Amino acid sequence: MTNPFDLSGRVAMVTGANTGIGQSVALALAAAGADIVAVGRTPAHETVAGAQALGRRAMIISADLSSTKPVRRVVEETLQEFGHLDILVNNAGIIRRAAALEFTEEDWDSVIDTNLKTAFFLSQAAGRHMLKQASGSIINIASMLTFQGGVRVASYTASKSGLGGLTKLLANEWAGQGVNVNAIAPGYITTNNTAALRADPVRNQAILDRIPAGRWGAPADIGGAAVFLASDAARYVHGHILAVDGGWLAR
């Protein structure tokens, strides 16, 4: 019986794969059989080494995703090396914190450009290739703030809400042409972006008190969801935002 979660022979591009969720997703995809392209400003040497240790081909493409300038190049370099691109995980993202009345235009633009604008145009570039081959999977890394408002993170909330909308739009346009577009909304995960929250004992406890699972999530908790959405097991899943949150939204 064929394993519907087997990704053997597929090429997966993961942005921001040097640490945290991106690294865990890349290694989970590699463990399921995919070759890995790690894209980002910080070279993902550890991630690539881990993928290679699993017997996969893996490469690093250095690119500053705070602008759309490298988008076309990273797709072209992937195709030159592997010949095809089957999975894109838009994980790269940044966050800026300030009260709404104090939020600067610079902090607004920097987050929107990285988290939303580049994610869209990278999806567009990858989508052009996937539509030609009539197959592919795009997975956007959304957030609890795709559903909720949050506080002190105006541009991050806007970017993740927008990413949820784009996930549905691209699914509407491409589902009938063999390309799946979905998103994962991680709950509160122990990453660099949440270090400030975990360092605040009051905020940290308030978060824990609301999570039915009783703990912060680990980056590795996101890997299985990514494998599912990238695989044939999810071939009839389109435009879905999968919360991996320890039950946060259920409470």
Please check whether residue 2 lies inside any domain of the structure: no
- For residue 114, the one-letter residue type is T
* Residue 51: closest CA among 27, 33, 32, 28: 27
Please check whether residue 201 lies inside any domain of the structure: no
Least confident of 71-85, 193-207, 220-234: 193-207
Please check whether residue 125 lies inside any domain of the structure: yes
Please check whether residue 5 lies inside any domain of the structure: no
Please check whether residue 185 lies inside any domain of the structure: yes
- Which tens digits make up the pLDDT trace of 135-190? 999 999 999 999 999 999 999 999 999 999 999 999 999 999 999 999 999 999 99
For the chain, the domain total comes to 1
Q: Where are the alpha helices (DSSP H) in the chain?
A: 20-31, 45-53, 71-82, 105-112, 118-133, 154-174, 195-199, 201-210, 223-230
Please check whether residue 199 lies inside any domain of the structure: no
Mean pLDDT value across residues 42-67: 98
* pLDDT reading at 1 higher than 70: no
pLDDT-derived band at 106, boundaries 50, 70, 90: very high
C-alpha–C-alpha distance, residues 69 and 61, integer Å: 14
Q: What is the pTM of this model?
A: 0.97
* Catalytic pick among 120, 156, 188, 248: 156
Least confident of 57-66, 143-152, 189-198, 208-217: 189-198
| 188 in active site | no
CATH of the domain at 33: 3.40.50.720
Please check whether residue 186 lies inside any domain of the structure: yes
Six-digit token string for 3: 């394993």
Segments forming the whole domain that contains residue 34: 11-191+219-244
Six-digit token string for 50: 């881990």
Please check whether residue 80 lies inside any domain of the structure: yes
Tokens 């990285």 appear where?
114
* Residue 57: closest CA among 76, 33, 79: 33
